[in-house]
């Protein structure tokens, strides 16, 4: 029983660090995709042709929105669980 108690804080810390890294990576990826959307829109206005990259970037943004919601929810659950323990 003592070993479980002593490893629990390190497991919590590892999970919090992983979620923090995921949130940071998510933010960086979102910024890069937004840059792609802006560049694609500027290209569309200039040439009048909508390329596939723009549509793919929009699909990625929709997926990233779901990942962002997951990150926020997971961090909130971790905080609630850490207060209970």
Residue 72 tokens read as: 């926020």
When divided into structural domains, the chain yields a total of: 1
> Tell me: the pLDDT tens digits for 31-76?
888 888 888 888 888 888 877 877 888 888 888 788 778 777 877 8
Q: CA 61, CA 29: separation in Å to the nearest integer?
A: 9
User: Which pLDDT band holds residue 6 (cuts at 50, 70, 90)?
Assistant: low
> Tell me: the pLDDT tens digits for 61-71?
888 788 778 77
Return the higher-pLDDT residue of 51 and 5: 51
Host domain of residue 64: 2-84
């Amino acid at each position: 029983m003592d070993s479980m108690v002593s490893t629990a804080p390190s497991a919590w810390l590892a999970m919090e660090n992983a979620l923090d890294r995921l949130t940071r990576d998510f933010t960086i990826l979102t910024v890069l995709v937004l840059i792609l959307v802006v560049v694609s829109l500027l290209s569309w206005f200039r040439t009048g042709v909508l390329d596939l990259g723009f549509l793919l970037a929009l699909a990625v943004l929709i997926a990233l929105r779901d990942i962002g919601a997951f990150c926020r929810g997971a961090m909130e659950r971790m905080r609630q669980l850490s207060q209970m323990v």
